[in-house]
A = this chain, B = another copy of it.
């Protein structure tokens, strides 16, 4: 029996990030914050999204939990922005997954 491995902290971290991205509404929010390079308010989002306020709040909480966004209190609003540091980390993790083919032993490309 080849011994069991322990799933690394990195894999677990990335799975957490992927989970945060695994709902259309949350992905929409991330896409908006990222491509606009801007912040937004819960009130803006609830007007354009087909979900209720409390549901949206829950989604924002999950994005916060994953570290992808952060909320600045700006009474009476809360301004939500990307957490740039963690966003960069997430980008790195996904780039590593998608682009790091043939890590370790180089593939011979002589066809």
Contact = CB atoms under 8 A, between A and B. Distances in A.
Query: In the assembly, how many copies of this chain are there?
Result: 2
A87 B34 CA distance: 22
Nearest to A15: B24
Which of A1, A16, A23, A98 neighbours the largest number of chain B CB atoms within 10 Å of its CB?
Answer: A98
A83 to B, nearest CB: 14
A110 interface: no
Nearest to A9: B24
B4 A37 contact: no
A26 B49 CA distance: 30
B35 A11 contact: no
A22 B20 CA distance: 8
